[in-house]
Structure 1
Amino acid sequence: MIDILICDAHLYLDRDWEIAGGWIAIEKNRVHSAGGPGQPMPAAARIINARGRLVTPGLVNAHHHMFQNLTRAYAPVTRNGLFSWLETLYPLWTGLDGEAVYLSSYISMVELLLGGCTTSTDHMYVHPRPYLMDAGFAAARDIGFRFLATRGCMTRSQENGGLPPAAVVQDEDTIMADCERVVARFHDPAPGAMTRVALGPVSLFSASEQIMRDCLAMAERDDLRLHTHLAEDVEEDDYSLSIYGCTPTEHFERMGWATPRAWIAHYIYPSTSEAERLIRAGVGMVQCPSSNMMIGNGSADAMDLRERGMNVGLGTNGSATTDMACMWMEARNAMLLGRIRNGPASMVARDALDMATRGGAACLGWDDEIGHLRPGACADLVIWQSSPVALAGAMTDPVEAWLRYGPMVAGTTIVNGQVLVEDGRPLQSGLADALHRHAREARRIQKLD
């Protein structure tokens, strides 16, 4: 018998497969089958009537910094550009410890579930204390969230030309030893994995050439993904030219990172030829629309990169820039940015939904199992809901309407065949306690006590 059957739904199963008034069956942690009106439905232990609502694959967050929700909407942050923003917050993040990382990860994951996200990365690059990665994996385990954590790092402090204080910087040997430990303990390459690990020096202006090469060598040896920020700010160009005598993309290529195992965040300021080279190399890119608009430093032309052959996903980025972690909002903002940039006919809701599902999964090297709902895929999906007032008048195209009215929230979120959000409510029994403890940690980090 099937475990869960969702019926009377508009199913968006994949970029080229939709069923109006359809049903989808989940057996254990996999999609078993799907069908349309008139096709016999299998017997199921539990039946969920979607009442005509849209069902999509769970959204994939391809770039995030979960610890940053401890400084969400931090009032004293200056808005004079990326570098100034980082220099303001780095001293606060020196206070991170295992408790803070666990709680920020836990709250991030619940927040993402409510916004329809079922798989997320976390680029954890601030390490003032050892073994902080373990806390994020513990939160994912406790919630049942699908998680790809990037073991990030910084080697260049203010003392040798970087931005962060020495307290959050590590030497290359310490970093690589912990990379080996984290991969051995948490990376699961098997089908249906709940935890995986990538390697990710945070950026060329905070990481040495040695650590870039060391991470590349380990990734090639152990078949891991690689992640970093690239061409996010015009100041990055100036820095790269002064230190390396080349552009950020050229430095990325010199380090050997122009490979299909790499995906990059933001990529706002490449030249046309630079972007073309990375497209040919198979590098993926993540647009973070809300963060880019909040900081005001521009945003990538996602549709142009997609049309030229690049895998483009979406990300929430850290909660200290976006100030929220909602993948529905990222999809809506991506669509609106695309239309402002290239005209009203340039981007529709299905483009944004594809970026938020298949696109993000491809960046993570995981689109064989997540980002779609074809039979055999991981059972990660969302039944979307909104208020009757917001829904009034939406009669023709549920997918297009998904980003035109709103706000939309996850009525039901299922990860690995388990219901984690129901009737718009998170089901985590430890949430109230986590929120209380998170408030305590946020006050400590922000030095309000």
Structure 2
Amino acid sequence: MNRPASLPFDTRPTSTRPVDTLITNAHVVVDRDAEYPGGWIALAGGRVAAVGHSHQAPPPAGRTIDAGGRLVTPGLVNTHHHMYQNLTRAYGPAINGSLFDWLTTLYPLWAGLDEENVYLSTYVGIVELLMGGCTTSSDHLYVHPRPGLIDAQVTASTELGFRFMATRGSMTRSVADGGLPPESVVQDHDTIMADAERLVGAHHDPAPGAMTRIALAPCSPFSVSEEIMVSSAEFAEKHDVRLHSHLAEDHDEDTYCLETYGCRPVEYFERVGWASDRAWVAHFIYPSDDEVARLASAGVGAAQCPSSNMMIGQGSMDAMRMRSMGLTVGLGCDGSASTDSASLWMETRNALLLGRLRNGPASMRARDALDMATRGSAACLGWDDEIGHLRPGACADLVVWETHPVALAGALVDPVEAWLRTGPSRAWHTLVAGRVLVEDGEPVAAALPEVLRRHRAAAAAMQNLL
């Protein structure tokens, strides 16, 4: 991936040059190796201008936010989601099946997707993420029964001021071709690639500070043809965009790939040209050690989705062990029915709990989980130069966290450990590009009540409840 050699602005700390916003009286986590207890952070022009300790004089500011001693972290980054699925949240007939059972139950409902309900589900999904401390998200929309669905997502993210990587998902292999989805939600190769070309031209911004980027995301080895995998990899190389897919999520996937392609999923992934540093995959639960090492060497990243994996009950990646093998690991919340909430705080906490459950209490700390949710996730998206940390010059994407004083009573030593060990925590203030999008625990979104009304009607229609 091409990245800017330097950031196009002056980031030298100063106590005289005014800034837009100053957050004071905070425990500021700047990066995995830099914290400022009782510190402050100054934001200007949508960037971090300076960070300082309590004894250092901050610059004058147009607005000052007193964090009240709260924890401030980089905004959490969501590497895997299916926002449209909040239209079928906690859908009864799908909640107790295997992955394949779940998909075959819901595909016929999702065949009703149109621009209106994709816009509504994306708007609601983004607001929910903001309330859980997420400031950047990818989204994997792979069901395309009608055109223009990604455009509707970009409209919603732009209206809200959210940093967004839309992935143009695809499925080409229907039930008639030996896949899982019905014919109504699959598309042919040429339609998919033409739309990818159009979307990158219309919405992808490769520049520093971008708010919208586009990636290509064929759904999974069992729902797309080998041709679309190869074409997507070639397109991504030509246009310098990223690649995303599900991989090694289920034992049924192993069986399918062996029967269909004559090899295991990771070998197939390599064969179609995806083993590169522009690709990240979701779940990656069942690779061998050799397969992990190969993809780590190639620069591939992986998204752990702790709540989804536990809800489906079919395993979760050994994230810390894979990190020790050199694999980049981020976090994702995944979509509804596999999990029905989109709180990145909860995913970060669940990643910590899963890691310790698997490998013992000394194997993972809160800061490891936070690093996965920030730096690790940003690296999966190829965006770790600008997001996932709060060093001067970074995008001004951050969260002031609120945990009730009752829950924090007695937690006097380590605010980062307390953030995940106590709780629940919520975003008190969420800022994206320096703009306050959650304030005093409430989303700053005037259209939200009307969007929720329309979303309820759309969900009822999709679930045949009207």
Normalising by structure 1, we get a TM-score of 0.99
2:366 aligned with 1:349: yes
2:399 aligned with 1:399: no
Q: Deviations over 1:204-239 (max 9, x none)?
A: 100101000111111000101000000000000000
Q: Deviations over 1:287-339 (max 9, x none)?
A: 00000000011000000011111110000001221100000000000000000
CA contact (8 A) 2:124 2:452 kept: yes
Gaps in structure 2 of 5+ consecutive residues? 1-17
**Separation of aligned partners in 1, 2:95 and 2:301:** 31
Which of 453, 456, 459 in structure 2 is aligned with 1:436? 453
Which of 89, 92, 96 in structure 1 is aligned with 2:113? 96
Give the corresponding residue for 2:224.
207
Give the corresponding residue for 2:252.
235
**Separation of aligned partners in 2, 1:87 and 1:78:** 12
1:386 deviation in Å?
Answer: 1.6
2:90 aligned with 1:73: yes
CA contact (8 A) 1:78 1:84 kept: no
2:351 aligned with 1:334: yes
Letter in 1 for 2:117: A
CA contact (8 A) 2:304 2:332 kept: yes
Letter in 1 for 2:452: L
**Separation of aligned partners in 2, 1:142 and 1:3:** 21
**Separation of aligned partners in 1, 2:97 and 2:108:** 17
Give the corresponding residue for 2:270.
253
Give the corresponding residue for 2:9.
none
Q: Deviations over 1:180-223 (max 9, x none)?
A: 01110010000000000000100010010100011111100010
Which of 389, 397, 404 in structure 2 is aligned with 1:380? 397
Letter in 2 for 1:357: T
CA 78–108 in structure 1, closer or farther in 2 if over 3 Å, else same: closer
Give the corresponding residue for 2:279.
262
**Separation of aligned partners in 2, 1:439 and 1:320:** 17
Letter in 2 for 1:285: A
What secondary structure, in the 3-state scheme, does the structure 1 residue paired with 2:342 have?
Answer: coil
Task: Please tell me the root mean square deviation across aligned C-alpha atoms, in Å.
Answer: 0.6
Q: Deviations over 1:122-145 (max 9, x none)?
A: 001000001111000000011000
**Separation of aligned partners in 1, 2:340 and 2:29:** 29
CA contact (8 A) 1:121 1:150 kept: yes
What secondary structure, in the 3-state scheme, does the structure 2 residue paired with 1:76 have?
Answer: helix
**Separation of aligned partners in 2, 1:244 and 1:215:** 18
**Separation of aligned partners in 2, 1:387 and 1:282:** 40
**Separation of aligned partners in 1, 2:21 and 2:166:** 29
Gaps in structure 1 of 5+ consecutive residues? none
2:161 aligned with 1:144: yes
1:51 deviation in Å?
Answer: 1.1
2:29 aligned with 1:12: yes
**Separation of aligned partners in 2, 1:158 and 1:369:** 42
What secondary structure, in the 3-state scheme, does the structure 1 residue paired with 2:270 have?
Answer: helix
**Separation of aligned partners in 1, 2:58 and 2:262:** 63
1:78 deviation in Å?
Answer: 4.8
CA contact (8 A) 1:78 1:88 kept: no
CA contact (8 A) 2:81 2:140 kept: yes
**Separation of aligned partners in 1, 2:288 and 2:393:** 40
Give the corresponding residue for 1:36.
53
Q: Deviations over 1:379-411 (max 9, x none)?
A: 000000021211211111000101000000000
2:341 aligned with 1:324: yes
1:28 deviation in Å?
Answer: 1.8
Give the corresponding residue for 1:300.
317
2:287 aligned with 1:274: no
CA contact (8 A) 2:94 2:337 kept: no
Which of 380, 389, 402 in structure 2 is aligned with 1:363? 380
Normalising by structure 2, we get a TM-score of 0.96
Letter in 2 for 1:442: A
CA contact (8 A) 2:166 2:215 kept: yes
2:445 aligned with 1:420: no
**Separation of aligned partners in 2, 1:136 and 1:82:** 26
Letter in 2 for 1:203: S
Residue-pair matches, total:
449
2:191 aligned with 1:174: yes
What secondary structure, in the 3-state scheme, does the structure 1 residue paired with 2:146 have?
Answer: coil
Letter in 2 for 1:343: G
Letter in 1 for 2:421: R
2:428 aligned with 1:408: no
CA contact (8 A) 1:11 1:19 kept: yes
**Separation of aligned partners in 2, 1:282 and 1:324:** 30
What secondary structure, in the 3-state scheme, does the structure 2 residue paired with 1:297 have?
Answer: coil
Give the corresponding residue for 2:243.
226
